[in-house]
Amino acid sequence: MATYLEFIQQNEERDGVRFSWNVWPSSRLEATRMVVPLACLLTPLKERLDLPPVQYEPVLCSRPTCKAVLNPLCQVDYRAKLWACNFCFQRNQFPPAYAGISEVNQPAELMPQFSTIEYIVQHGPQTPLIFLYVVDTCLEEEDLQALKESLQMSLSLLPPDALVGLITFGRMVQVHELSCEGISKSYVFRGTKDLTAKQIQDMLGLSRPAVPMQQGRPLQTPEQPVISSRFLQPVHKIDMNLTDLLGELQRDPWPVTQGKRPLRSTGVALSIAVGLLEGTFPNTGARIMLFTGGPPTQGPGMVVGDELKTPIRSWHDIEKDNARFMKKATKHYETLANLSAANGHCIDIYACALDQTGLLEMKCCANFTGGHMVMGDSFNTSLFKQTFQRVFSKGYNGEFRMAFGANLDVKTSRELKIAGAIGPCISLNAKGPCVSENEFGIGGTSQWKICSLDPSTTLAIYFEVVNQHNAPIPQGGRGAVQFVTQYQHSSTQRRIRVTTIARNWADAQTQLQHIEAAFDQEAAAVLMARLGVYRAESEEGPDVLRWLDRQLIRLCQKFGQYNKDDPNSFRLSESFSLYPQFIFHLRRSPFLQVFNNSPDESSYYRHHFARQDLTQSLIMIQPILYAYSFHGPPEPVLLDSSSILPDRILLMDTFFQIVIYLGETIAQWQKAGYQDMPEYENFKHLLQAPLDDAQEILQTRFPMPRYVHTEHGGSQARFLLSKVNPSQTHNNLYAWGQESGAPILTDDVSLQVFMDHLKKLAVSSA
């Protein structure tokens, strides 16, 4: 057959969807026996350069409990101008505007190539986007200066009619009134006292808008513009004054004595930001951008005290229940995150410090709202500066990539139900016939809200097959899913992206080979990984590893070919052959192995893992390794210690780091200076090639990865050595025999040992 690989790739390109299974088992019982759930990765706003949006409203099914959008799977009677909804079978009349349609004159939304289509539905005045800067002033002078310059620079990158606001904080929290008149004023709040949104709004002299509004619609009450203008002004009006205001920002004036941390009131600052936006512009696209250089040390949301001798909590502290402030702080930020998400506003966290800043406690702010999380050592680094610039990046069509206020609604044909979603979203608690009682991730709903997203944001959505065993499937029957994403485009237009897909049902008892052949092992690995990481956030680490192992063994038992109790006979077909390797690397990954990282680092890695598309997610699970040598053109090589050779340069991409590693001989040649001799120019080229390739990644990826340039014996070589499969260790050194590869000092099992164990367990009849 034209392989499923092509089918899978074409569907991803067109619809932004990857399913774990592309031929679906037709009964609930059989589906659970598949081990890997029926699920998909969805990139709602996948960049489609060839898909011009249509300028009319989508046609909806008239059944109130359905309201599916007209799509290529619907049966159409062109003569009678009727269409049958493929989800609920309701017959619907076409609206009058469709009077002229026929078989040869189809509207775009009926054509198969428009299984994904985008509608522009709002015209006329729109509410502008809002950017509220929340800035920590407890920074070192150099750091603060660099941050100020980045903020000033960003004013040139904002959409000109966007609104901007500024809150600064340290021991106190200052809300700056932005005006074009000479004197700048601010409202000062104590950083120790938490306030409700209403109190904040009262103290700032705002009043709540009377009418709840739909995201992006213009405000109704005439006095709104006057009230909000004091703290949130259009960039094109306020840019010069705000540039000066930013330029004049000083370090927090409260002295920090020896052995103490600065008093940082992040919790109150964020409360005020959320309350301010709620009171002025609910339900419109807004970014609260928190810039912080250290942990919150006072007030609600404090993560550590101000005594330096008390270190900030580590994973060991948390395990031993020795993290005093964690629960309360997490609760504070979760409340804020939920409030902000309910208002359609996202919270970004830009945390630059050598020590932890409390990302563990604050992560919900970014994770619930779709906001960014950027972690760096200092604001005075290219990692922060360039990453921050990319927040405002534009796509190929010159439009901002960022989008706001997305509402994702999923509909399924009746044999399927929705079990949940994992990604940067919150539940909208939309109950209905499509919603399953079993929850995977954020469940109990068929709708989620993503307050901020871009063309790479990807959700994992889990389904449940509910057809009873032995219920007849109609011949050639297909199941269908429709994803409807309403959102606010960066131009402030409202748009709707509709993706409708279908897959064949198959009887697992008689057609297992078809189901097998259509398995997408890459998608399955990422979908299982997201589930594992989601569980790891709430369960104990070892339980998740045991669960992953159990699922893997069951999968091998079901789909492997083998003779009982004969591990050597074990085979996996091509569509499954890479899956165990993904699981092996996932088990070793920083997403599930936390003790090598701080809690903040783990939160950072997990944050990005829960929203990236499939390709990037796979890089995170199983980093890519390229080898450069004189033996041939650059090539990808196994992520294995045997790939580390003296006469090679390796480039490793883990998504979070780009590591260039010079083999021993290469390093010695470089030390000897051969690259500077004209007759050895090709050596110079060899050294340069991985640097050029690294630059391509460094210049485009968000967030910008850490760049590590190291060599054999270098202390930073550990970045590479800890990732590769340790096929050669001090334990099996002499058994190996050959002089190839660099042995790794570890007691971790290698992939070979892992596979041996797996085969033994899979074939065992016990």
Partner 1 sequence: SPGPPSAPADPAAPPPRALGPPPQGSVGAAPRAEARPSAAPCPEQEECSVSADTVLAPLRAALDSCRATVQKQVCNDIGRRLTVLEDAWAQGKLSAPVRKRMSLLVQELQQQHWDAADEIHRSLMVDHVNEVSQWMVGVKRLIAETRDLPTGE
Contact residues for partner 1, defined by CB under 8 A: 149-150, 152-153, 155-157, 160, 180, 236, 239-240, 243, 247, 389, 628-634, 665, 667-669, 671-672, 674, 679-680, 682-683, 685-686, 688-689, 692-693, 695-696, 712-715, 717, 721, 728, 730, 733, 736, 739-743, 745
Whole-number Å distance between alpha carbons of 332 and 118: 38
Neighbour-count burial of 101, counting CB atoms closer than 10 A to its CB (0-12 exposed, 13-18 middle, 19+ buried): middle
Residue type, 206: L
CB of 667 to partner 1, least distance (A): 8
CB of 688 to partner 1, least distance (A): 6
Print the SS3 string covering 663-706.
CHHHHHHHHCCHHHCHHHHHHHHHHHHHHHHHHHHHHHCCCCCE
Whole-number Å distance between alpha carbons of 38 and 40: 7
Instruction: Kindly tell me which of 354 and 672 has the beta carbon lying closer to partner 1.
Output: 672
Which DSSP helix (H) or strand (E) runs through 407?
Answer: strand 403-412
Q: Which residues are within 8 A (CB) of 379 and not within 5 positions of it... i.e. 6 or more apart? A: 139, 143, 144, 146, 147, 150, 291, 293, 352, 385
Q: Any idea which residue has 């074409």 for tokens?
A: 10
Whole-number Å distance between alpha carbons of 553 and 544: 14
Whole-number Å distance between alpha carbons of 567 and 565: 6
CB of 543 to partner 1, least distance (A): 34
CB of 154 to partner 1, least distance (A): 9
Instruction: Kindly tell me which of 593 and 668 has the beta carbon lying closer to partner 1.
Output: 668
Instruction: Kindly tell me which of 562 and 736 has the beta carbon lying closer to partner 1.
Output: 736
CB of 31 to partner 1, least distance (A): 45
Strands ordered across the beta sheet of 82-84 = 75-77, 82-84, 91-93
Give the dihedral sign, CA 727/732/733/734: negative
Instruction: Kindly tell me which of 147 and 336 has the beta carbon lying closer to partner 1.
Output: 147
Whole-number Å distance between alpha carbons of 54 and 341: 29
CB of 243 to partner 1, least distance (A): 4
CB of 728 to partner 1, least distance (A): 7
Residue type, 433: P
CB of 290 to partner 1, least distance (A): 21
Q: Which residues are within 8 A (CB) of 470 and not within 5 positions of it... i.e. 6 or more apart? A: 27
Instruction: Kindly tell me which of 245 and 506 has the beta carbon lying closer to partner 1.
Output: 245
Whole-number Å distance between alpha carbons of 609 and 3: 29
CB of 638 to partner 1, least distance (A): 17
Query: What pairs with residue 494 in β-bridges?
Result: 488
Instruction: Kindly tell me which of 158 and 274 has the beta carbon lying closer to partner 1.
Output: 158
Instruction: Kindly tell me which of 321 and 679 has the beta carbon lying closer to partner 1.
Output: 679
Q: Are the CB atoms for 686 and 734 separated by under 8 Å?
A: no
Q: Are the CB atoms for 648 and 612 separated by under 8 Å?
A: no
CB of 389 to partner 1, least distance (A): 6
CB of 717 to partner 1, least distance (A): 7
Q: At what angle do helices 614-621 and 599-609 cross, to 10 degrees?
A: 140
Measuring CA to CA, how many Å separate 385 from each of 259, 350, 382, 390? 30, 11, 5, 9
CB of 350 to partner 1, least distance (A): 16
Instruction: Kindly tell me which of 237 and 328 has the beta carbon lying closer to partner 1.
Output: 237
Whole-number Å distance between alpha carbons of 543 and 545: 5
Helix (H, G, I), strand (E, B) or coil at 370: coil
Instruction: Kindly tell me which of 566 and 696 has the beta carbon lying closer to partner 1.
Output: 696
Instruction: Kindly tell me which of 157 and 203 has the beta carbon lying closer to partner 1.
Output: 157
Instruction: Kindly tell me which of 5 and 240 has the beta carbon lying closer to partner 1.
Output: 240
Print the SS3 string covering 554-572.
HHHHHHCEEECCEEEEEEC
Instruction: Kindly tell me which of 546 and 718 has the beta carbon lying closer to partner 1.
Output: 718
CB of 385 to partner 1, least distance (A): 8
Instruction: Kindly tell me which of 721 and 761 has the beta carbon lying closer to partner 1.
Output: 721
Give the dihedral sign, CA 394/400/404/410: negative
Instruction: Kindly tell me which of 18 and 723 has the beta carbon lying closer to partner 1.
Output: 723
* Terminal-residue alpha carbon distance, the chain: 37
CB of 141 to partner 1, least distance (A): 14
* Structure tokens that stand for 62 in this block: 């008239």
